Amino acid sequence: MRILGEAVAPVTADFSNDTWWIWLIKAVAIVVFLLTSVLIAIWFERKVVARMQVRPGPNVHGPFGLLQSLADAMKLLVKEDMTVKAADKLVYIVAPMIAVFCSLLTFAVIPFGPNVSMFGVNTPIQLTDFPVAVLYILACASVGVYGIVLGGWSSGSTYPLLGAVRSTAQVISYELAMGLSLVSVFILAGSMSTSQIVTSQTAVWWFLPLLPAFVIYIISMVGETNRLPFDLPEAEGELVSGYMTEYSSMKFAWFFLAEYINMLNVSAVATTLFLGGWRAPWPLSAINDGMFNQGWWPVLWFLAKLWLLMFVFVWIRGSVLRFRYDQFMKIGWKLLIPSALAWVVCVGVVQGVRQFSGLDLRTILFVLAGIVLVGLLISFLIPEKKEPPAPKRPPGPQVYDPYAGGYPVPPLPGQVLPPSPRKQRAAAAAAADAENTTPQVTQEVHGG
């Protein structure tokens, strides 16, 4: 009963020629790439947000202010390194290390390109790959949360603890939605290895057929990295700066580093699983027999897609306000997870029909479109739910008692205030002055 396992090699990338020094070169290159990318990402974020807010942004150090983040890093390094008295020393020091190390692990399985010749050795531009590479990425992310949680707890202070508890709840609930959105890619690609998933996107990138899963992933990846609008673990207005309140100097810098590397990580995963990985975009991929999908070119496409997603991160940060905590949890549990589950069931059913009935994809898609159309037509026939009738208001202005609830309330549309005591006195005086004219109490009608 072979269904999916048939003719599917566990891993597409061929690492058989790798030697130890190739591994070393790749590993060092990944770390260097991540650290420099973080420096650029900080500059990029500040510059883009500044453009969105119509101001120049960093522009003093180096060309276009490019050296600004280097200066910031130096400043962090030479700041006083404080250890709080109430802190649990060991855990306090280990926590930022856990955060950084776990964030560095993900890129080991991200494919930057196909096989190339590296110093005479034919090897893929990827450190390693195995049949459960994407699960490994999830595992690294879930261990990385320990950095935040322990950092918050070990500080021995209230706000960090609250930030840590929030972050736990946040990551657990958003990782569910994230994992479920990835499952539909696994179903279609028939594998969890990253190189295999990139190979499966030769014809079409998965973000098109799996658009709902892609949207869910984009939302939950913002939640997973604690970025605005979901930066509740470090909300300045409520928690000072959450789990990293009691950290300074290098230890703080490590948390900072981990956050930015995590942004790169989730963007790289989205690129690999939904945006075709290192594959060239459509018109380019057709040029000269796929010239742009060979050699070192794919690195360029991969980086372009990665930074496109980084731009989305900054864009969201520049335009959306922070959510309230309960709203955030409601979105996670009542919207994202159920819709992700429903989508996985849909994809599973379609894939099952394809595998067992032998129908081709076009027929299935036509049938699905028909079902959706019929459903739409039926939904037009269902009478709309009637609005509850509005409470009847007597016509004309209506005098009400502004102190009925115990405190003064301004009039609603259609209501008028009773004449004020002063006006009554004035009217009485006017009446006393000229007895032959009838006093007129003018009433202001608010709103009508």
Structure tokens, 338: 């159920």
Binding to other proteins by residue 142, rule CB under 8 A? yes
Residue in 29, 40, 169, 187 binding other proteins, rule: CB under 8 A = 169
SS3 content of the chain, % helix, strand, coil (to 5): 60, 5, 35
Residue in 4, 304, 346, 431 binding other proteins, rule: CB under 8 A = 4
Cβ partners under 8 Å of residue 414, min gap 6: 393, 397, 398, 445, 446, 447, 448
183: helix, coil or strand? helix
Binding to other proteins by residue 145, rule CB under 8 A? yes
Options 36-44, 297-305, 385-393, 403-411: segment touching other proteins (CB under 8 A): 403-411
Structure tokens, 141: 């992310």
Q: How far apart are CA 174 and CA 168, in angstroms?
A: 10
Structure tokens, 40: 């650029």
Identity of the amino acid at 116: V
124: helix, coil or strand? strand
**In the 8-state DSSP scheme, what is residue 447?**
-
Binding to other proteins by residue 161, rule CB under 8 A? yes
Report H helices in 190-248: 194-199, 211-224, 236-239
Binding to other proteins by residue 15, rule CB under 8 A? yes
**In the 8-state DSSP scheme, what is residue 242?**
G
Residue in 49, 67, 139, 303 binding other proteins, rule: CB under 8 A = 139
Residue in 44, 153, 292, 328 binding other proteins, rule: CB under 8 A = 153
The least distance separating other proteins from the CB of residue 94, rounded to whole angstroms, comes to 9
Report H helices in 19-157: 20-52, 68-78, 89-105, 133-154
Binding to other proteins by residue 107, rule CB under 8 A? no
Residue in 62, 131, 209, 397 binding other proteins, rule: CB under 8 A = 131
Residue in 23, 33, 101, 146 binding other proteins, rule: CB under 8 A = 146
Binding to other proteins by residue 132, rule CB under 8 A? yes
Bridge-based pairing state of the strands 415-416 and 121-125: unpaired
Q: Pattern 378-397, binding to other proteins, x per CB under 8 A?
A: --------------------
Binding to other proteins by residue 368, rule CB under 8 A? no
Residue in 49, 116, 143, 312 binding other proteins, rule: CB under 8 A = 143
Binding to other proteins by residue 136, rule CB under 8 A? yes
Binding to other proteins by residue 304, rule CB under 8 A? no
245 contacts 160 by C-beta, under 8 angstroms: yes
Residues between 62 and 91 that touch other proteins (CB under 8 A): 88, 91
Alpha carbon 138 to chain centroid distance? 15
323 contacts 229 by C-beta, under 8 angstroms: yes
Q: Which of 137, 171, 143, 144 is nearest to 272 (CA)?
A: 137
Of residues 190 and 295, the one with the C-beta less far from other proteins: 190
Residue in 52, 93, 165, 364 binding other proteins, rule: CB under 8 A = 165
Residue in the structure block whose two tokens are 């509850």: 388
Options 125-133, 221-229, 347-355, 369-377: segment touching other proteins (CB under 8 A): 125-133
> Site for other proteins (CB under 8 A): how many residues?
36
Options 10-18, 262-270, 345-353, 373-381: segment touching other proteins (CB under 8 A): 10-18
Residue in 59, 115, 157, 168 binding other proteins, rule: CB under 8 A = 168
Q: Which of 131, 233, 118 is nearest to 174 (CA)?
A: 233
The least distance separating other proteins from the CB of residue 137, rounded to whole angstroms, comes to 9
Of residues 141 and 216, the one with the C-beta less far from other proteins: 141
Q: How far apart are CA 9 and CA 56, in angstroms?
A: 52
Residue in 9, 28, 82, 335 binding other proteins, rule: CB under 8 A = 9
Of residues 88 and 238, the one with the C-beta less far from other proteins: 88
133 contacts 109 by C-beta, under 8 angstroms: yes
* Binding region for other proteins (CB under 8 A): 1, 4-5, 8-11, 15, 88, 91, 130-132, 135-136, 138-139, 141-143, 145-146, 149-150, 153, 161, 164-165, 168-169, 172, 175, 192, 405-407
